[in-house]
Amino acid sequence: QKGRLNGNGRLSGSLLAPLVNGSVTLEGGEVAGAELPMELHDLKVQA
């Protein structure tokens, strides 16, 4: 697995009810391995 992961976030709320807001971006991701049925290259994901 490889790629570049960037993100930012903000925590708020209480200890028993935390709130998390933010974003994460993966660019140039790659997933491969003998246990996987296929290889995935040049992945780009934003959440």
Q: What share of the chain is helix, strand, coil (3-state, %, to 5)?
A: 0, 70, 30
Per DSSP, 1 falls in state -
Q: Is residue 2 very low, low, confident or very high in pLDDT (cuts 50, 70, 90)?
A: confident
pTM greater than 0.75 (yes/no): no
- Residue 37 in tokens: 């049925």
Q: What is the pLDDT of residue 46?
A: 95
pLDDT band at 44 (very low <50, low <70, confident <90, very high): very high
What total number of domains does the chain contain?
1
Return d(Cα 26, Cα 33) in angstroms, integer.
19
User: Residue 23 forms beta bridges with which residues?
Assistant: 8
- Is the model's pLDDT at 1 over the cut of 80? no
Query: How far apart are alpha carbons 31 and 37 in whole angstroms?
Result: 11
As a whole number of angstroms, the distance between CA 10 and CA 20 comes to 6
| Domain extent at residue 31 | 2-46
* Segment 3-39, tens digit of pLDDT: 999 999 999 999 999 999 999 999 999 988 889 899 9
